[in-house]
A = this chain, B = another copy of it.
């Protein structure tokens, strides 16, 4: 099974490259599943219903979120009628929406997509390790799902790598998001789970994590805000992770980074090209 994960889409520039390139990638690479992190798709802050629908219309199967999930207040409402929009699982009980989605992939396979958030230097949500564990008790790889993808939205590399090892052999993919910079430590862990610490953002890399440089730089130096953060509008790099899983085991057989478009060195999965 062929899975493409697309990292945090930032603003108009990030959306443009997704909408432009994704339909072609789906057919060229014969993708069975596309998951995309959309927490920054509305001008860098959150997601709106129309942006979400546009992603789905362009072939995304599930949209995941993160600490910016609720920056656009409407997400608290429309997430209830959007089963393909998934917010971090470890928000407290009673939070709108769901932290996991069981869907049918393009090839008819049963796929579980989980979104969870780390706690180190982020909001003190419920324990993501326990929360995912509980989810996997209810829905095990092979028994209940042909593939399981976890988008672990976290700040520090140690927490992300710990999650990778924690889930190794029990899910198909653990991919990190949130730092907006792609890492090159993609690998198949010893138990068969594809892993990458961060998929990177899909946005303009001539920026500070997707934002126009001036204000972030000014804040680091002056420690006083002088304007709002604005999503950078230069051409985006689409960043993500390509994973191929074994139909019998649901585990990963191949993993490669994806980087398409401006500035960053291009990377395409040679095994699909």
- Give the interface of A toward B (CB within 8 A): 70, 76, 91-95, 119-121, 123-127, 129-130, 155-159, 161-162, 165-166, 179-187, 189-190, 197-198, 200, 205-209, 213, 216-217, 220-225, 257, 259, 263-265, 267
Q: Which residues of B contact A120 (CB under 8 A)?
A: 124
In contact, A208 and B158 (Cβ under 8 angstroms)? yes
In contact, A161 and B208 (Cβ under 8 angstroms)? yes
15 new A-B contacts at CB < 8 Å, known A121-B121, A182-B184, A187-B264: A70-B224, A119-B124, A123-B223, A126-B127, A157-B180, A157-B209, A161-B208, A165-B213, A166-B217, A181-B183, A181-B198, A183-B183, A184-B265, A185-B200, A185-B264
In contact, B223 and A158 (Cβ under 8 angstroms)? no
Given contacts A121-B121, A179-B157, contact A200 B222 (CB under 8 A): no
In contact, B184 and A257 (Cβ under 8 angstroms)? yes
A159: nearest chain-B partner, CB-CB: B220
- CA–CA, A265 and B186, complex, Å: 8
Contact of A221 among B127, B161, B263 (CB under 8 A): B127
Given contacts A129-B220, A220-B129, contact A264 B124 (CB under 8 A): no
- CA–CA, A197 and B119, complex, Å: 22
Residue of A70, A91, A161, A165 most packed against chain B (CB within 10 A): A161
Q: Please state the number of chain copies in the assembly.
A: 4
- CA–CA, A159 and B156, complex, Å: 14
A120: nearest chain-B partner, CB-CB: B124
In contact, B257 and A162 (Cβ under 8 angstroms)? no
**Subset of 16 A-B contacts with CB under 8 Å:** A91-B223, A92-B130, A95-B222, A124-B124, A125-B223, A126-B126, A127-B221, A157-B180, A158-B216, A162-B216, A165-B213, A183-B183, A184-B200, A184-B264, A184-B265, A184-B267
Given contacts A125-B223, A221-B127, contact A162 B213 (CB under 8 A): yes
- CA–CA, A121 and B200, complex, Å: 20
- CA–CA, A119 and B123, complex, Å: 9
A67: nearest chain-B partner, CB-CB: B223
In contact, A95 and B224 (Cβ under 8 angstroms)? yes
In contact, B184 and A183 (Cβ under 8 angstroms)? yes
